[in-house]
Amino acid sequence: FGYKYRTIDGLVLPPYVTPKRLAAAGSVITRANDICYCSFPKSGSTWLANVLYLMLHDGVEAEGDMPLRSNLHWMESSWTFPRTKAEVDAMPSPRIFKSHMPHGYALGGGPSKAPCRYIYIARNPKDVAVSYWHFESNQSWSGGYNGPWEHWLQLFVDGRVQRGSWFDHVLSWWQVKDAENMLFLKYEDLKRDFPSQLRRISNFTRHELSGEAFERVVNASSFQHMKQSRFANHGTMRGFEGFFRKGEVGSWKEQFTVAQSEAFDKLYKQRMAGSGLDFDFD
């Protein structure tokens, strides 16, 4: 089946991630008030981007599209700013960076090496696998995958989807969860009790929100609001439901067969054993 990717150090990546860009991202000299938010794809990164933007802007959306591709910068892609060290250095604080890389390729070197604040968001892997399948299917600008679900699930299990193994990715960041400049979030916690997770994020980033601004961020971060918001559901992607499909915990149940679910649970138990990390699946 068709699926476009590039391999670096054995890690499956989108073709637009080049060794040069990865090296540039790894060598960024970060500042203490920078924020780098990271995730495996389809784990709620657009949601988190929205929260971070609103937090820095008193809960008020900008007129145009959420500057996912300009203000919430990332260095791994070919089309976004910034790409050079000079561009990164010239950006005003607080800078926000995005990354879909495992911890070994963290922007600036990761929590133990860089002063920047890192926020990782993780989501249960069954929902991620389904969300990713829908996202990658039949669209040309990324993977352009055109195979069936059961084949995709096998790729996902084998770590042959873009960004590699979900297990390796999540566990790599989980290992550094206790660093003082690291916050580990779970999608399911945001779904269950968004205000308490927002408080964690604002305490961690030291961006205090007034009562009213706090309420504005809560309201503008709901799935329903983001899906219809010109700001959040950014322009070039409008009409493409990949970033706002269902927004639920447990939608994997509509896709996994019982046998697939049981086999996945077995693998999950093996890979997560002893890690202390667990997810809600419904």
Active site residues: 100
Tokens 């250095």 map to which residue?
89
Q: Min. distance of Cβ 185 from ligand A3P in angstroms?
A: 12
Strands 182-186 and 72-74: unpaired
Q: Min. distance of Cβ 192 from ligand A3P in angstroms?
A: 11
| Number of chain positions touching ligand A3P (CB under 6 A) | 21
Of 166, 244, 256, 264, the residue at the interface with ligand A3P (CB under 6 A) is 244
Compute the distance between CA of residue 190 and CA of residue 185 in angstroms, rounded to an integer.
8
Residue 4 touching ligand A3P (CB under 6 A): no
Is 173:31 a contact under the CB 8 Å cutoff? no
Q: Min. distance of Cβ 52 from ligand A3P in angstroms?
A: 13
Residue 255 touching ligand A3P (CB under 6 A): no
Compute the distance between CA of residue 143 and CA of residue 208 in angstroms, rounded to an integer.
39
Q: Min. distance of Cβ 242 from ligand A3P in angstroms?
A: 7
Tokens 């600008």 map to which residue?
141
The contact mask relative to ligand A3P for 129-158 (x = CB under 6 A, - = no) is: --x--x------------------------
Residue 230 touching ligand A3P (CB under 6 A): no
Q: Which residues contact 124 (CB under 8 A, 6 or more apart)?
A: 187, 188, 249, 252, 279, 280, 281
The contact mask relative to ligand A3P for 158-177 (x = CB under 6 A, - = no) is: --------------------
Is 44:188 a contact under the CB 8 Å cutoff? no
Question: Hey, what are 27's tokens?
Answer: 């060598």
Nearer to ligand A3P, 19 or 148 (CB): 148
Compute the distance between CA of residue 85 and CA of residue 17 in angstroms, rounded to an integer.
17
Name residues contacting ligand A3P, limited to 195-224 (CB under 6 A): 221-223
Of 166, 231, 243, 268, the residue at the interface with ligand A3P (CB under 6 A) is 243
Return the amino acid letter for 55.
Answer: M
Which of these, 54, 58, 59, 52, lies nearest to 74 by C-alpha position?
A: 52
Q: Min. distance of Cβ 126 from ligand A3P in angstroms?
A: 10
Q: Which stretch binds ligand A3P (CB under 6 A): 26-34, 127-135, 170-178, 274-282?
A: 127-135
Q: Which residues contact 276 (CB under 8 A, 6 or more apart)?
A: none
Of 57, 177, 207, 245, the residue at the interface with ligand A3P (CB under 6 A) is 245
Is 61:231 a contact under the CB 8 Å cutoff? yes
Residue 46 touching ligand A3P (CB under 6 A): yes
Of 67, 247, 261, 263, the residue at the interface with ligand A3P (CB under 6 A) is 247
Question: Hey, what are 159's tokens?
Answer: 């770590």
Q: Min. distance of Cβ 82 from ligand A3P in angstroms?
A: 21
Q: Is 200 helix (H, G, I), strand (E, B) or coil?
A: helix
Residue 76 touching ligand A3P (CB under 6 A): no
Interhelix angle 45-56/211-220, nearest 10 degrees = 150
Binding site for ligand A3P (CB under 6 A): 39, 41-47, 127, 131, 134, 221-223, 226, 243-247, 251
